[in-house]
Structure 1
Amino acid sequence: MEKQVDVVIVGGGISGLTAAYHLHKKDPSLRVCVLEAKDRVGGRTLTVPLKSKNGTDYWDLGGQWVSTSQKDIMNLIKELGLETYPQYHSGRKFTQVESAKVKSSRTDVPPLSVFALADLSSLNSKLNKLGKEIDSNDPYRSKKAKELDSKSVHTLFKESLWTDGAFKFMEVAIRTAIGLEPSQMSALFFLSGVGSAGGVEAVFGMNESDAQGLKVKGGTQQISQIMANKVGIENVLLDHPVEDVTQDEKGIRIKCVNGVTVCCERAILAMPPTATSKISFNPPLSRERLEIERWIMKGNTTKVIITYQEAFWRSHGQSGEALTYGGPTDVAGCDVGPLSGVMDASTPSGNPALVMFVAADQAIQWSKQDAEVRKGAVLRSLTDIFGPEAENCLDYIEQDWSNEPFIDGAIAGVATGGMKYYASGLRQPQGRLHFAGTESAIDWSAYMSGGVQAGVRAATEILYHLRPDTISDQELLGTACVSSYRPKHN
């Protein structure tokens, strides 16, 4: 079977469907086809039903947080008619970072010694200063880029901190947020994220302008589902993994594993860079692209949602938050307990739940355990932190993103020494092939907002070639990898 369209988009996540939706809005006559390898749209967003206090409700097992400072995703949410609600974070918070002892605080200031708190404050100031110096369009063009890319986040912290408490606190925070150990990740990559987000506080905070500030009513997967309906569900082909992309001066020919072939004038690759190795490209992708694919590391994250009859933590004046190194465990093969971070996950319908993360090295170790052993360890860790009520749950579900077919991991990072080809390798078009995906975003890379921004940018590149009259010079100049193009008008 062979199909002829104007544009093919490989990947039906938020970034790919944003590109398709943007193309459709600009010119509905454009024939657009989305090829999605999985049996659903949404990519790294996944909304599932669970037993709840009031029957059944929906929770996000993938990306779930947005913020008022993430203009790209917030504008899209508003346009699609969806609503947000704030992340609950009022009340006592728990930490277990320096020892097995669980400590608590009534404020956002962690219960560390005054020396560790001063150390943390100094580090945050340093990180914010360095982040502001990073060129968001191409981090490697920054003044200290080579030096920062030569060291890991672990090394940066060791050089900057002198208290064990502050170091362990940041180590757990990084592990929870990114799914990588600080020793695995380039300091330049981390600082570019800090800079584009507006500071360390924005990356780890829970106010409405911070990365974990808002959630979407009904879940985030519906963002992709709504866009798929708007571009025409008949144009979104599920269970169509791509195996070959061939292009010449006339167009692109894309062959799927199931034998379907789609020919087009231009195409967008909107999938995790770690997953593109499964596709054969003719001609081959550029050396810059292949290099950055080698240096990008998938995050190891298992996300767990547990629902309850009552939000007992709120009744006790607790926020539902905990940051932990894992705590002790007696399970063979696991150095520490499974958990890294815990937060309130109650829905706007009033159905109580907690969300937690098993991340980085802990995710690898605990993935080898039987599911029931892992569940038991998670519940034990929760009872150590919140008390015995944490064990009496209504429903329990986990999602190991490293085992998700065609995605192969959660949030991605770049290993030490790998940032040289970051911008050119992830964003630069190659012939008729263009690139989206949150990893290629300028702002809020690795977040849903970054995926939206990258999708619009890739669609604008396509429009420049196929429908130039539909875009303005401002739209064109606002895209990172078309800087070499000249404006259409003087």
Structure 2
Amino acid sequence: MEKDCELRLGPPERSPKLDVIVVGAGLSGLVSAYRLLEKEPSLRIRVLEASNSVGGSLQQNTQGEIGAKWFEKSQTHIYQLLQHLGVPMQQRSLVGSTLRRCWELDQSVSSNLAKYELQRYINELELKTAFFKPGRFSYLDCPNTLLEFDSARLLNALTQGLQRADILLSRQAKAIYHYKDYIEVHDSVQNIHTTDALILAIPLNALQQINISPTVPLEWRKMLNNARPGVRKMMTSFIASYRDGHWRNGGYSGSFLKYDPLIVGCEYRPTVYTGLMLHNDGMESLVRSMTLNALAQHFGEEMKVPHTYSQYTFELSSLQHLPLTTPWNRIIWSSSAAASTCYRGFLGGAVQSGLRASLNALLVVRPQVVTWTDVADIHCQNCPNIRDIGALKLWLSALNLYNVGYYALYASSVFLALQFAYKKFG
């Protein structure tokens, strides 16, 4: 191990030592804490959450889910968790196929080639991004296998099971001091927490806001450098209710896609519309006007004046690294983006990474309660295995056939026109 990463014994603890601290109260962090107490109720657990609510990107209001989170049954870990907690699921109702969708991708002459290239790009992500599995359906069609659920009910069930744990909101972890015998966490209100094991249920790019001593190992530093973007990319989910389904009145299903800026939308309920917008940091205040104006261009001016409107913004998680599945002494990674090995970045990945983190924490604080069933629970189920990919296949996956085809057609047209002109006019 590198000299600057070596751990030393810590000074006498300045606060009562906990068994486990979980940083991040998103789905992954809550699942970690829930499973720990389910396996060993005597554990002393504390959850530190930087925001003023639990759930991470799972947000809900009276209209429904903000940025509705749907999934397929093949995402076994989230499916089994909902069954275990008694949270009902129902198949997503689809808008009639006779109605038109509104995609910029459909409006160009070369739309079929562009859509083919988009599907190839998704396949390229599967090949090159470790453990990224977007699902077993085409993103160019509306799948009829999606399940929806009440996220507030899920979060309530998890927090009910965490009544013996301390959940501290508006407490951002600012510094972590990692010793051989324990870990010390300093939060944003100057409190100090000590623990035997620490679960970081946050994406890798969020680690840049935390001072860790001693320095993380070299491989982690390389990942951090790769995850450090020039401009922070944000995703804002929105939900808007109307007095009527104006998109249906215009003959549209509500399926909407605009790519500059990237805006994706769909019908959530007959009079409720939901979607998301990708943008740079600092543009949150512009999202409402930009999305509603874009929708109004196609669905009518009524889209500019929703009856109710809500939005929620979060930073895009970095996926440009291998999943962090091996703990660094007492520090354990969780979160769908950072540590999942199947359906990474999705709900299924969040639950799977949370289960693995709880298992690794138990191996530190209560190894005697770990069983083979716990190990089996974190395995990828209904998720294709990663295959060895040849260099030729990787190169072909990255070849932009849309540009190649477009410019080849353009060059051929120019050549034929010149040839025709030469023959006619000599």
Q: TM-score range by the shorter chain?
A: 0.7 to 0.9
For residue 82 of structure 2, the aligned residue among 54, 58, 77 is 77
Confirm or deny that 1:357 pairs with 2:276: yes
1:82-131 CA distances to partner (integer Å, 9 max, x unpaired)?
Answer: 22331534342333426xxxxxxxxxxx5766x64367458747965x67
| Alpha carbons of structure 1 residues 122 and 299: separation in structure 2 relative to 1, 3 Å | closer
Match of 2:239 in 1: 305
Q: Distance in 1 between matches of 2:244 and 2:288?
A: 20
How far residue 428 of structure 1 moved from its aligned partner, in angstroms, is 2.1
SS of residue matched to 2:255? strand
The answer to whether the 8 A contact 1:88-1:319 is kept is no
Confirm or deny that 1:443 pairs with 2:356: no
For residue 245 of structure 1, the aligned residue among 172, 176, 191 is 176
For residue 309 of structure 2, the aligned residue among 393, 396, 401 is 396
| Alpha carbons of structure 1 residues 318 and 199: separation in structure 2 relative to 1, 3 Å | same
Q: Distance in 2 between matches of 1:325 and 1:126?
A: 15
Q: Distance in 1 between matches of 2:330 and 2:281?
A: 42
Q: Distance in 2 between matches of 1:399 and 1:122?
A: 31
Match of 1:453 in 2: 352
Q: Distance in 2 between matches of 1:410 and 1:437?
A: 13
How far residue 384 of structure 1 moved from its aligned partner, in angstroms, is 1.6
Q: Distance in 1 between matches of 2:185 and 2:108?
A: 56
1:315-346 CA distances to partner (integer Å, 9 max, x unpaired)?
Answer: 555321111235xxxxxxxxxxx562111122
The answer to whether the 8 A contact 1:9-1:270 is kept is yes
For residue 61 of structure 1, the aligned residue among 61, 66, 83 is 66
Q: Distance in 2 between matches of 1:39 and 1:233?
A: 20
For residue 378 of structure 1, the aligned residue among 268, 291, 295 is 291
Letter in 2 for 1:259: Q
The answer to whether the 8 A contact 2:60-2:152 is kept is yes
Confirm or deny that 1:345 pairs with 2:352: no
Q: Distance in 1 between matches of 2:317 and 2:181?
A: 36
Q: Distance in 1 between matches of 2:22 and 2:200?
A: 6
Confirm or deny that 1:466 pairs with 2:365: yes
For residue 88 of structure 1, the aligned residue among 83, 90, 94 is 94
The answer to whether the 8 A contact 1:89-1:206 is kept is no
Alignment of 1:68-147 (within 5 A): 68-85=73-90, 86-91=92-97, 92-97=99-104, 116-117=111-112, 120-121=115-116, 124=119, 128=123, 134=127
Confirm or deny that 1:288 pairs with 2:219: yes
C-alpha RMSD over aligned residues = 3.0
| Alpha carbons of structure 1 residues 293 and 60: separation in structure 2 relative to 1, 3 Å | farther
Letter in 2 for 1:97: E
SS of residue matched to 1:457? helix
Q: Distance in 1 between matches of 2:142 and 2:333?
A: 31
Alignment of 1:168-317 (within 5 A): 188-189=128-129, 192-193=131-132, 196-199=133-136, 201=138, 206-209=142-145, 213-217=146-150, 220-232=151-163, 235-296=166-227, 299-314=233-248
| Alpha carbons of structure 1 residues 234 and 428: separation in structure 2 relative to 1, 3 Å | closer
| Alpha carbons of structure 1 residues 20 and 206: separation in structure 2 relative to 1, 3 Å | farther
The answer to whether the 8 A contact 2:352-2:378 is kept is no
1:374-416 CA distances to partner (integer Å, 9 max, x unpaired)?
Answer: 5444333212211234234201223332xxxxxxx034342xx
Match of 1:41 in 2: 54
1:188-209 CA distances to partner (integer Å, 9 max, x unpaired)?
Answer: 22x852xx344562x5654254
| Alpha carbons of structure 1 residues 375 and 6: separation in structure 2 relative to 1, 3 Å | closer
| Alpha carbons of structure 1 residues 244 and 324: separation in structure 2 relative to 1, 3 Å | closer
Match of 2:383 in 1: none
How far residue 437 of structure 1 moved from its aligned partner, in angstroms, is 0.7
Alignment of 1:426-441 (within 5 A): 426-439=324-337, 440-441=339-340
Letter in 1 for 2:29: G
Structure 2 stretches of 5 or more lacking a match? 1-13, 380-426
Letter in 1 for 2:340: A
The count of residues paired between Structure 1 and Structure 2 equals 360
Letter in 2 for 1:254: V
| Alpha carbons of structure 1 residues 267 and 47: separation in structure 2 relative to 1, 3 Å | same
SS of residue matched to 1:271? coil
The answer to whether the 8 A contact 1:299-1:413 is kept is no
Match of 2:21 in 1: 8
How far residue 260 of structure 1 moved from its aligned partner, in angstroms, is 2.3
Question: Is the radius of gyration larger for structure 1 or structure 2?
Answer: 2
Q: Distance in 2 between matches of 1:290 and 1:458?
A: 21
SS of residue matched to 2:143? coil
The answer to whether the 8 A contact 1:267-1:433 is kept is yes
The answer to whether the 8 A contact 2:58-2:69 is kept is yes
| Alpha carbons of structure 1 residues 472 and 242: separation in structure 2 relative to 1, 3 Å | same
SS of residue matched to 1:79? helix
Q: Distance in 2 between matches of 1:367 and 1:284?
A: 34
Q: Distance in 2 between matches of 1:41 and 1:60?
A: 14
Quick one: percent identity of the two aligned structures?
21
The answer to whether the 8 A contact 1:68-1:208 is kept is no
Confirm or deny that 1:412 pairs with 2:318: yes
How far residue 216 of structure 1 moved from its aligned partner, in angstroms, is 1.7
The answer to whether the 8 A contact 2:100-2:251 is kept is no
Q: Distance in 2 between matches of 1:20 and 1:68?
A: 24
1:281-334 CA distances to partner (integer Å, 9 max, x unpaired)?
Answer: 2222222222212222564222222111122434555321111235xxxxxxxx
Structure 1 stretches of 5 or more lacking a match? 49-56, 99-109, 135-187, 327-337, 402-408, 481-490
For residue 283 of structure 2, the aligned residue among 363, 367, 379 is 367
How far residue 6 of structure 1 moved from its aligned partner, in angstroms, is 1.0
Taking structure 1 as the reference length, what is the TM-score of the superposition?
Answer: 0.66
Q: Distance in 1 between matches of 2:121 and 2:203?
A: 31
| Alpha carbons of structure 1 residues 127 and 393: separation in structure 2 relative to 1, 3 Å | closer
| Alpha carbons of structure 1 residues 3 and 45: separation in structure 2 relative to 1, 3 Å | farther
